[in-house]
Amino acid sequence: MSIRKKQVFFLAFLAGVLMFSPSCSKEWDWFGKEQETSSFEAYILSIHLPSSLYAGQPAVFSVTYAKPQPCYTRTGINTHLRGSEMDIEVMLKRDHDDACPDMLVEESAEFSVFFPYPGTFTLKYKGMEGPEILEIEVL
**Cα distances (angstroms) measured from residue 10 to each of 13, 28, 33:** 5, 21, 27
Q: The whole model's pTM is what?
A: 0.70
Assess whether pLDDT exceeds 90 at residue 91.
yes
Q: What is the pLDDT of residue 38?
A: 73
**Cα distances (angstroms) measured from residue 78 to each of 12, 13, 23, 40, 52:** 52, 51, 34, 12, 22
Q: What is the pLDDT of residue 79?
A: 96
Rounded percentage of the chain residues whose pLDDT exceeds 70 = 73
Q: What is the pLDDT of residue 94?
A: 87
pLDDT single digits (tens) 48-59: 999 999 999 999
Closest CA to 71 of 25, 127, 32: 25
The mean per-residue pLDDT over the stretch 105-110 comes to 96
Q: Which of 78-87, 89-98, 107-116 has the lowest mean pLDDT?
A: 89-98
Closest CA to 96 of 6, 41, 35: 35
